[in-house]
Amino acid sequence: LHLGAGSSMCCVRNGASSDTTMGMTPLEGLVMSTRSGDVDPGVVIHLARHGRLDLDVIDSMLNKKSGLVGLCGSSDLRAVLERVELGDQSAADAYCVLVHHV
């Protein structure tokens, strides 16, 4: 288990990886600091068709403006946890999303 700016999990059986949360790109898997993690592929189509966004904009949204920063405005998990302790609801929600996916 690695939780940080990039997050991933790997199942190890008899010393060898048998499964991982990672896919072809870093987007697949867990919510990360700025990356969305798993997203329904239909979201990309919806944003392109109905949001009239081009693929470069959608790519930037999913890779640089999503994850913890998109959920609560902070990409640093330590800062998110501090805000949770102070009663910040958006930080608590972001933390819950991360924990749920782990």
Tokens 């081009």 identify what position? 54
Question: Would you call 8 helix, strand, or coil by DSSP?
Answer: strand
Q: Residue 48 carries which side chain, given as an amino acid letter?
A: A
> Angle 47-65-60 (CA atoms, 0-180°, nearest 5)?
60
Q: Is the pLDDT of residue 4 over 80?
A: no
Cut 0.95: pTM above it: no
For 71-95, the pLDDT digits (tens) are: 999 999 999 999 999 999 999 999 9
